[in-house]
Amino acid sequence: MKKIIITGGSSGIGRAIALEMAQDKHQFFLIARNETKLNTVKKEVESLGSVASIGIGDVGNEKDAERLSNEALSLMKKVDVLIANAGVGYFGNLEDASISEFDEQFNTNVRGVFLWLRRILPLMKAQNSGQIIVTSSNLGLRTSARASIYSATKHAVQAMVWSLREELQSELQRSILALLRRHGSMGEM
């Protein structure tokens, strides 16, 4: 039974990953801001024979990340897999974007990944094992009209994970895998 944290676990890709993996009877700690949706996914995961707990909070908020990671460790005692999936996107012309839309996208999509890597990576190094999966987008590899800020966040995430892979290789931490999962269209979110 693997111990799995999924950020953005209340809908979309996070929910789909939880439901697919739940068939193999794992223990999950699902994180999102929407408690109602998160409780629904928790029940779905449990109906498939897995164990699930939830944590409500903002992945891009340092205090929430600390609190939630502590809750997860208290319940699971270790983390085998971190799926950093939480994300938000606003689309439109650059000059029409608000500062709050810019901040929310960077706080969730980039800072959220950073905060969770920073919390979980030392634990995985100490246990000399683990898998990190970060959800990105094809817009992190190439841009598109009306997606400038979202694309910028996904470029940042791509660079962060690519650099992390090199760090792990140079530190001989080859027992920890850092992977990117890119989705191709907004229809898959």
Residues involved in catalysis: 150
Lookup: tokens for 63: 């205090």
Provide the residue ranges of all domains of the chain, joining segments of one domain with +. 3-188
pLDDT digits (tens, 9 = 90+) for 138-167: 766 788 899 999 999 999 999 999 999 989
pLDDT (0 to 100) of residue 138? 75
pLDDT digits (tens, 9 = 90+) for 15-58: 999 999 999 999 999 999 999 999 999 999 999 999 999 999 99
Structure confidence at residue 110 (pLDDT): 98
| Overall average pLDDT of the 111-128 stretch | 96
The structure tokens listed for 41 are 């996914």
Are 155 and 138 spatial neighbours (Cβ–Cβ below 8 Å)? no
Residue range 3-188 forms a domain whose CATH class is alpha beta
Residue type, 144: S
